[in-house]
Structure 1
Amino acid sequence: MDTINAFVHELKQYHFLKAMEKINKLGTGARNTPKTAVKNKAVSRVLTEIDMKQDILDMALGLANLADPTAKEIAAHLLGKIYEVKPEQVTEKLRILADDENWEVREWAAGACGDILSNHFQAFYDDMMNWTADESGNVRRAAALAAKYAGKIRKPEYAEPLLDLVEQLLTDDDHYVRKNLGAFAIGDGLLRYYPESTLARLDNWIKVDDEHARWNIAKIFSAAEGMKHVNECKEIFQVLLKDDRNKVKRAVRSTCNKIEKRNPGLLFGIYS
């Protein structure tokens, strides 16, 4: 019996610790944890071999309650696949995982949220909107990433609701949220998937006289996708350049340096 089969076998018996002992034998690297491919294979095997979704939910919850980060990661991915079994229970468990102390667990939880938002948009959207007001920056950040991941399927009807979602975080002062919002969730995400809608929204966002909002807007153009729209956003850039607040000035300077490094001369029309 190979390791993944042994993991699934123990999981079927609800021997959660024994199941993790099996899969953790494949740990590598400095953290001695299984590679992402191994964890994805384990998830796939569970989804293939377990017919009852309630059983998968029970197994996912059992794994999520362990202290083992790998168990929580696998649990998050499984939860993303069986949301419809018990939506409230799945949502609450993912919120806990999105606020986990381990950054990799938080990544898997955010990915699961994106998966659910993609496949159960109407049912899950309000939960993600509520997360944008959560007391935890980790949870608010997960909502931003979920919006990006859901945007990948490029359904036109998702554009405005997803932009409404990230708009709630535009003035968020949490560093972790900002780090993942402007450049990543919007610049590398929604701007790529819904360029016209996002550019139209930027025309409104630049009117928000808040240093965190301006910081995020500046960072949007530091992403490779954002750089493609620099010239058509000349008026937005000029507003940013005139903002004297230190946080905004640092963000604009950093973004301009990245643009000049990757696209020399691209900013000529902005400065002239």
Structure 2
Amino acid sequence: LRIKKGFVPYALDLLEVLAYDSNLYVRKSCGPFALSHVCYKDSRSAFERLRKWMKIKDRNVRWNVAMSLGVWFGQTHPEESLKLLKILAKDKERFIWRAAASSLIKLIRKHPKLKQEVFSWENCEECLNVVKRYVEE
């Protein structure tokens, strides 16, 4: 995706509509791919927007946020990504905390130093149990 930094807010407006879509193809193309690439261009405004989206009750939106943090964009900003993933890892919906677990696995594999911090989190045991299965302690 070729997008200039100045157009990131407009692109995020367009992607927000897609973030609600429950279609498997749209979902897998939105968060892990399109959203991550757009956010990479302007991380400050992207994290601002993702924090707002995390509060939306729609599970597909929260899933897309979680999945965008485990790939290119999230791996480039691991500390800030962890702040959001820590919240998503505590989500009551399995669909969401599993997406957070998937992104955490990818982040820890890319940045092994994050492992100790992630494994110290409380009140998200289900999510961390999944992460521990795929990442050595």
Tell me which interval the TM-score lies in, with the shorter structure as reference length.
0.7 to 0.9
Q: Which residue of 2 aligns with 1:4?
A: none
* CA 1:250–1:153: 2 relative to 1, 3 Å: closer
| Per-residue CA distance 1:155-190 (angstroms, 9 max, x = gap) | 51x122111000111121110001011110011x11
Distance in 2 (CA, whole Å) between partners of 1:221 and 1:153 is: 19
**Do structure 1's residue 164 and structure 2's residue 13 form an aligned pair?**
yes
Q: After the TM superposition, which parts of structure 1 deviate over 4 Å for at least 4 consecutive aligned residues? A: none
Q: Which residue of 1 aligns with 2:50?
A: 202
When the two chains are superposed, the root-mean-square deviation of aligned CA atoms in Å is: 1.8
| 1:234/1:260 CA distance change after superposition, 3 Å | closer
Shift of 1:208: 0.7
Q: For residues 93-129 of structure 1, what are the alpha-carbon distances to aligned partners after superposition, in whole Å with 9 as ceiling and x for unaligned? A: xxxxxxxxxxxxxxxxxxxxxxxxxxxxxxxxxxxxx
Q: Please say if 1:230 is aligned against 2:75.
A: no
Which of 216, 225, 228 in structure 1 is aligned with 2:64? Answer: 216
Structure of greater Rg? 1
Of residues 88, 92, 98, the one that matches 1:244 is 92
Q: Which amino acid aligns with 1:197?
A: S
Percent identity of the aligned residues?
Answer: 31
Task: Count the aligned residue pairs.
Answer: 120
Distance 1:204 1:245, change over 3 A: same
> Is the alpha carbon distance of 1:153 and 1:228 closer, same or farther for their aligned partners in structure 2, counting shifts above 3 Å?
closer
Q: Relative to 1, partners in 2 of residues 1:250 and 1:155: Cα closer, same or farther, differing over 3 Å?
A: closer
Q: Give the residue type in structure 1 aligned to 2:14.
A: L
* Contact 1:211–1:248 (Cα < 8 Å) also in 2: yes
Higher relative CO (Cα under 8 Å, sequence separation at least 6) belongs to: 2
Q: Which runs of 5+ in 1 are unaligned?
A: 1-148
Instruction: Give the structure-1-normalised TM-score.
Output: 0.41
